[in-house]
Structure 1
Amino acid sequence: MLGRGRRTAPLAGLLELVAVSSPTFWIGLVLISVFGFGLGWFPVVATVGFGALLLPAATPAIPVAGIISQVLRQGLDDAAALPFVDTVRARGASHTRLVVRHTLRHAAASSITLTGYMVGSLLGGSVLVETVFARPGLGRVALNAIVDRDVPVVLGIIVLAAVAFSVINLLVDLVADRIDPRLETEQAYA
């Protein structure tokens, strides 16, 4: 790692491990218990308003954020070991500039690619989230359509998911091309 943050690395690793290994339904129940019932910050039963969307949105996002955080942290560690880091430090760049301007660009490429892939898991986990929060949604519609053998609805949902997945992966590819400095070098020599 880049020197700073060594004290917080074990805590970050523990939080990532807990986020990745916790089942989605359990995360949802904990969020409801703590932020809905305990603190009263978010409505538990409401289906209208921005506050009603935060807990159901955070529930599947926490495990995905844990995985992406692990990959990003490993990428930052790998990028910090590359020779260009010594050159940037020799030029007098601050630690923040080194991370934000240089090593983060190297580390973010694999994290962004993984983010596009993880969208599929977010779509797949929607049935659990909708069940825990008792909310109507596309996951429950898909489950009912499968049980009822309603082929047109199932096909429609599959096509919608495939289009969303394709568009998100196209955006991920475009962003990765702009961020990854190794691709800029390859394109300059082509």
Structure 2
Amino acid sequence: MLFGELGATVELTVAAMLLAVVLSAAIALLTSGQRPAVRFVAQALEIVAVSVPSFWLGIVLMTIFSFGLRWVPAFGNESPVALVLPVITLAVPLVGVITQILRERVEHQLHEPFVTTIRARGVGEAGLRSRHLLRHASVPALTLSSIIFGSLLTGTVIIETLFARPGIGRVIVMALQNRDVPVVLGFVIFAALVFIVINTVVDLLLPLIDPRLKEER
């Protein structure tokens, strides 16, 4: 039962995670090292994004873009367009968290000696931030993202129920309502395996991103 519904949950989770990572990287690179006013506005918006309940954000998005403007469907999984609102609803809180970590690390890297060396070679600010600073700053964000991804994969109950989408979340809700203990236990074991596998993969990838970690090991 779980693996029969896994595809829809993975589709939603991967899309939300990719959107969150891309937006977080772009915002962090654009706002790091800027004037205090720019950073203050960015941090305020990130705090709001983290604090807004997902179910409330989903209802607001459905009211505006589905019932009001009629741009995208609110329910179901019949077309790729139906992914838009659930993905945004899942991604917004992630953007607030990941952006804060990335910006803090990018600003820390800006004061490292290698930045002066790279600038002395004639590398522009855009190249410095995108090719060098982002790579060094992504290690803690990647570690956090692995935990977030595991939580998303096993915690999409609210979003799948709100948008009437198939997935593991709805299966678990039905299992709890029917007191189906084997399904609930299977879900717990599956969630534990997801966290173990994702964290193992991330631990193997980190030395490839930052060779200094390999030297420390």
Shorter chain as normaliser: what TM range?
A: 0.7 to 0.9
- 1:26 and 1:147 map into 2 onto residues whose CA distance is 23
Which among 160, 174, 178 is matched to residue 144 of structure 1? 174
Which among 45, 58, 73 is matched to residue 43 of structure 1? 73
Tell me which residue corresponds to 1:18: 48
Map 1:159-178 onto structure 2 (within 5 A).
Answer: 159-178=189-208
Structure ranking higher on relative contact order (CA contacts 8 Å, 6+ apart) = 2
Tell me which residue corresponds to 2:104: 74
Higher mean Cα deviation, 21-30 or 135-144?
Answer: 135-144
Describe the shift of the 1:59–1:87 C-alpha distance in structure 2 as closer, same or farther (beyond 3 A). same
Instruction: Judge conservation of contact 1:105–1:181 (CA < 8 Å) in 2.
Output: no
What letter is aligned with 2:210? D
- Return the offset for 1:74: 0.8
Which among 89, 95, 98 is matched to residue 119 of structure 2? 89
Which among 22, 31, 42 is matched to residue 61 of structure 2? 31
Q: How many correspondences in the alignment?
A: 187
CA RMSD, 1 decimal:
2.3
- Return the offset for 1:181: 4.2
- Alignment partner of 1:53 is 2:53: no
Stretches of structure 2 that go unaligned for 5 or more consecutive residues are: 1-30
Stretches of structure 1 that go unaligned for 5 or more consecutive residues are: none
Describe the shift of the 1:6–1:179 C-alpha distance in structure 2 as closer, same or farther (beyond 3 A). farther
Tell me which residue corresponds to 1:153: 183
TM-score when normalising by structure 1: 0.85
What letter is aligned with 1:90? A
Which among 99, 120, 137 is matched to residue 129 of structure 2? 99
TM-score when normalising by structure 2: 0.76
- Return the offset for 1:78: 0.8
